[in-house]
Amino acid sequence: MLKAIRTLLLCACAAAAIPATAAHAQGPEDLPPYKLLRSLQAIQDGIVLGDHSAAEMQRFMLAAIDKRLRESDAAVFDDPRNVDAAFIYAMSGGNPETLSYLANQDIEGNFDTRVVDALSHYLAGKGGLMVENLAKAVPEYRNSRVGPYLYLVLGNATAQQNPEKAIEYYDWARLTAPGTNIEEAALRRSISLATRGAMPDKGFAYSLSYARRFLTSPYASQFADVFVELAVVNYSEKTETKIQEILGFMDKPRQREVYLRIARRAAIGGMQELATLASARAQDLSDVADASPKALASLYSGLVGVPSKGILEALKHISAIPEAELSPRDRALRQAATVVAEEVLRAPNPESLTQATVSNVKSDVTMQDSAAVSGSGESPFATPASDAALKVAQPSAVPQAASPGQGPADPVLDAFLSTGRSKLDEIDSLLKGEDQQ
C-alpha cells in the first residue's frame, strides 16, 4: 500500500512540476515528453522491485506520453532529451506507430534514422534484419539515456543466432542501468542463454544477482523457470551448493515451489537422484496443513521409481495420491507413468514366444547341422534348421515373407510390438505436451 501511495504521489508531483510562468497549464499534456518519461521509468522500476499495484498507472502514463508526443510541435524535438524520450517510450511498451509518425514528421534531422529503422524492424518482429546496422550505431549511444535500452534490444535480436554476443549486450544493458527494469530483464534473459550455451558458471552468477534484487518482480516466475532448467541440466555436488545459496534468498514457500519444479523436471528427465532429493526438500519445506505440495513431492519421487526394480511399489505409491491434490498437468503426468508401468509389468503372450528349436523338431536333422544353420537356436529370431524342420514345427502355418537378416514373421509378436509402440508414442506425445505447458 505504501508503495502504491508513493507512486501516485510521484505522478502527482510530476504533473504539478510546472514553471510558475506557465500558470495556465493544468495537466501532463503540458509537460515536456522527457519529464513524463521519467515518471514512467520510475513506475516501471517500482513494478520490478515489487510494487505490482502500479500496473494500472503504467498504462495511464503510456497513454499520456503517446498523446503528448503526437501533439507536440516539431520544435519540441530540438531538445535531444525529448528525442530520447520518444525512443525510450517505443522500447518501453509504447505504440510503435508513434515513433514512425514522429520520424516522418521530422524535417530537422533530430531523429537518428539508423535507430528509427532498427526499432521499426524490431518492433515489427523482424529483429534479425536490424542487427548489423544497430550494432554499428549502438557504441555512439553507450553512455546516453537511450544506451541501456538499445543494448537490451540488440541482445534480444541476437539471442537466437549468437547467444554469447547477446550476453555481452545484456551485460552492457544491466551495468549501465542498475536496479531498473532493464537490469531485471537482462539478468533473466542472460540466465536462459547461459543454460542453452553451456555456461553454467555465468548462469549461476546471474541467478544469484537476480535472487538478491528482483524476487518480488512480477516476472520472478519466469526466472524460476529458467533457473530450474539451469539447475537440472548442470546438477552436481558442486552446483548443489550454488543452488542452496541462491534459494537462501527466498522464503519457504518460494523455495518449496522451486524444489517442486526441479523434482518435476528431473522426474520427467529420468534423473532419479535429483528428483528424490528435490522432492524430499520440498516435503521438508511444507507445512503440516499443506497437503497439495506434499502430494506433488510424493508424485515426483514416485515417478522415478517406475523404470527401476521397485516398479510395483512405485506404481502403488503414485496411484494412492488423491486426484484432488493434483493439477490437470500432474494428473496427466501420473497417467502417463501408470501406462508405462503397466506396459512393463504386462506379461507377454505365450504364443508370441513360440519358436522352432532342435528340441521340438522331429526330423532327421542332426544337432550339428542345426547349429551350422541357425546357431544355438535360443534366439526368438533364430532361423529354423531347415524348411523341413519349419514344416514339422508349424504344420498349419501360412508361409510369410521374412525380413532381411531375420527369421519368418510372427503375427502375434508383431501385433504385440505394434501395440506397445503405439502406446509409447502416445505417452511421448503426452509428455512433450506437458513440457510445453
Q: Alpha carbon of 241 to those of 195, 198, 246, 266, 435: distances in Å? A: 18, 19, 9, 18, 27
CA distance 181 to 221: 15
pTM recorded for the entire structure: 0.66
All three cell numbers of 115, joined, read 535507430
Residue 92 lies in a domain: yes
Q: At what angle do helices 181-196 and 147-158 cross, to 10 degrees?
A: 20
**Structural domain boundaries, residue 78:** 1-15+26-111
pLDDT at 358: 46
Residue 105 lies in a domain: yes
Q: How many domains would you assign to the chain?
A: 1
Mean pLDDT, the chain cut into blocks of 10 residues (437 residues total): 49 45 51 94 94 91 95 94 96 94 93 94 87 91 94 94 95 95 96 94 96 94 94 89 92 88 81 81 72 58 52 53 61 58 50 48 42 36 39 40 44 53 56 53
Residue 33 lies in a domain: yes
All three cell numbers of 193, joined, read 542463454
Residue 1 lies in a domain: yes
Residue 240 lies in a domain: no
Residue type, 172: W
Residue 430 lies in a domain: no
Planar angle of CA 106, 110, 113, nearest 5 degrees: 80
pLDDT at 114: 94
CA distance 144 to 149: 10
Residue 37 lies in a domain: yes
Residue 98 lies in a domain: yes
pLDDT at 260: 83
pLDDT at 71: 93
CB atoms under 10 Å from CB of 350, counted, come to 8
